[in-house]
A and B are shown apart, each in its own frame.
Chain A
Amino acid sequence: MAISSRNKTDLNFSLSGMTDIVFLLLLFFMLASTLIVPVAMNVLLPQSNNQTASNPIVTVTITNQLQYMVDEEECTFDQLETLLKEKLGHLEEPPTIRLNADENIDMNEIYDFLEIAKNNRYKVILGTRPM
């Protein structure tokens, strides 16, 4: 017959498209896994070789100069409790907070923070860096 379909689909499987996507995903995960813990402020964490599986919801940072930070937000010690309540107040079960404290600050600051945590039933883990 003279009439024939003009657009015939190519039935051969081409790998290149698939490779592109997989390669892109690979790059993404490689980059994302290195960016996983960005430290915004200069805090030298104490060293330990213990890992905990619990995943914290909020990170509180205390620097050498006793500056306080809740996640990325700078605040004073007095504002800390209200800020934490704002962020965690709606949660049913006791949330976990990661405390990144500089290794050279006194335990006094830690105890002050733990007081807040105790009053609000927060669980606290102390961030460390690998030995």
Chain B
Amino acid sequence: MTDIVFLLLLFFMLTSTLIAPNALKLLIPQAGQSVDIVQNIPEVELRHSGMILVDGRSVQFEQLGLILNQKLTGQTDPTIRLITAPDVTVKETVKIMNVAAVNNYKVVLLKK
């Protein structure tokens, strides 16, 4: 009995410290950061109508991961710029940020 209870105790103690909350990092462009210009950073634009543009070309949401993958393969610090219209909801933006997060891309948020 003590064995089992002790084991459970240890398990819960460990798991409760290991919980990482679900969240996304928000990066905003800082003044004086112009090093990134050397790399070409794809620009993802999100319009109010739900249209997604990658470097000016309209894409479907499902293809977004694939297209970004093509553009960013081989880069050491893959980053995308996400430009949203002011009246786009958080939900839509997070959907795109999640695609980037799954592929370990950094997202820099820009207001249009």
Which of B12, B30, B87 touches A29 (beta carbons < 8 Å)? B12
The contact size tier of chain B is 35 or more
Determine if B16 and A48 form an interchain contact, defined as CB atoms under 8 angstroms apart. no
Kindly state the separation between the CA atoms of A29 and B16 in the bound complex, as whole angstroms. 8
Q: How far is the CB of B64 from chain A (nearest CB, A)?
A: 14
Determine the residue in chain A with the shortest Cβ distance to B89.
Answer: A104
Determine if A19 and B5 form an interchain contact, defined as CB atoms under 8 angstroms apart. yes
Determine if A106 and B16 form an interchain contact, defined as CB atoms under 8 angstroms apart. no
Neighbouring B residues of A25 by C-beta, 8 Å = 9, 13
User: Residues of A within 8 Å of B, CB-based: how many?
Assistant: 46
Which of A15, A32, A101 touches B16 (beta carbons < 8 Å)? A32
Which of B5, B23, B26, B86 touches A51 (beta carbons < 8 Å)? B23
Give residues 98-115 of A contacting B (CB, 8 Å). Answer: 98-99, 101-108, 110-111, 114
Determine if A26 and B19 form an interchain contact, defined as CB atoms under 8 angstroms apart. no
Kindly state the separation between the CA atoms of A82 and B25 in the bound complex, as whole angstroms. 23
Determine the residue in chain B with the shortest Cβ distance to A118.
Answer: B28
List the one stretch of A71-79, A85-93, A119-127 in contact with chain B. A119-127
* A3 interface hit (Cβ, 8 Å): no
Kindly state the separation between the CA atoms of A29 and B85 in the bound complex, as whole angstroms. 45
Determine the residue in chain A with the shortest Cβ distance to B13.
Answer: A29
Determine if A26 and B5 form an interchain contact, defined as CB atoms under 8 angstroms apart. yes
Q: How far is the CB of B96 from chain A (nearest CB, A)?
A: 10
Hey, what's the 0/1 contact readout for B29-71 against A, CB within 8 Å counting as 1? Answer: 0100000000000000000000000000000000000000000
Could you jot down 8 A-B contacts, CB within 8 Å?
A: A36-B19, A48-B101, A105-B90, A111-B86, A111-B109, A118-B28, A124-B28, A128-B23
Further contacts, 20 of them, CB under 8 A, given A53-B20, A127-B21: A19-B1, A19-B5, A22-B2, A29-B9, A30-B12, A33-B16, A48-B101, A52-B20, A52-B21, A52-B23, A106-B86, A108-B87, A114-B26, A117-B28, A118-B30, A124-B26, A125-B23, A128-B23, A129-B22, A130-B22
